[in-house]
Structure 1
Amino acid sequence: MSDFNFNPDYLFVFMLAAFLGFQLIKRVSPLLHSPLMSLTNAIAAVVIVGAITITGEEGATPLAKTLGFIAVLAATINLVSGFLITDRMLKMFKRKDG
């Protein structure tokens, strides 16, 4: 038997967050892309810390450890790519001396 107890409330919260996040990002003006990217980088950093905390718990189930690892991996990829994209966009606005 598994230690995992499915709670439909968690699925509802996840679906609601995914829907609202998609709607919010879809309607952002291109002028706000860099500040929004900075905010998502900060959120990804919080996700990484939370996922590491949950994954490293002493009584964590194998499912929690697997999902925590996936969360750390996905948030790290998001964080690094966000910094790279922001840096590339900021380079477009630098003056070229010469």
Structure 2
Amino acid sequence: MEASEHIVENLFIFMLASFVGLELIKGVSRLLHTPLMSLTNAISSIAIVGALMVTGRMQTDATLYLGAAAIACSSINAIGGFMITDRILKMFRGGSE
């Protein structure tokens, strides 16, 4: 397989996973959004660990830059997710705590 065939195959898988994920999220009840957010925060944390492992190998400069970008994006995603989850939980508690 050539590199262009791998790219097309990977893009197809990405688009299919995005579509399936969107359809699944749309079907989730509002009461289950908080546990779902917590789960996605855990997945972002796993992505941070994977990016750290890739960046630590430093095979090329591109690996270093892409790994650093992945660490930054995953960290922002995880921190923002925890902040939003906290706000959702405060709404359920009444916000006084």
Q: TM-score range by the shorter chain?
A: 0.7 to 0.9
TM-score under structure 2 length normalisation: 0.77
Q: C-alpha offsets along residues 20-48 of structure 1, whole Å, 9 cap, x if unaligned?
A: 22222222221111000010001000000
Aligned equivalents of 2:19, 2:62: Cα separation in 1: 25
Residues 1:42 and 2:39 are matched in the alignment: no
For the aligned residue pairs, the C-alpha RMSD in angstroms reads 2.1
SS across alignment from 1:67? helix
Residues 1:65 and 2:72 are matched in the alignment: no
Query: What is the percent sequence identity of the aligned residues?
Result: 51
Cα offset for 1:87? 0.8
Structure 2 unmatched ranges of 5 or more: none
SS across alignment from 2:63? helix
Q: C-alpha offsets along residues 22-81 of structure 1, whole Å, 9 cap, x if unaligned?
A: 22222222111100001000100000000111111142x333322222221111111111
TM-score under structure 1 length normalisation: 0.77
Aligned equivalents of 1:39, 1:92: Cα separation in 2: 19
Q: Which runs of 4+ in 1 moved over 4 A?
A: none
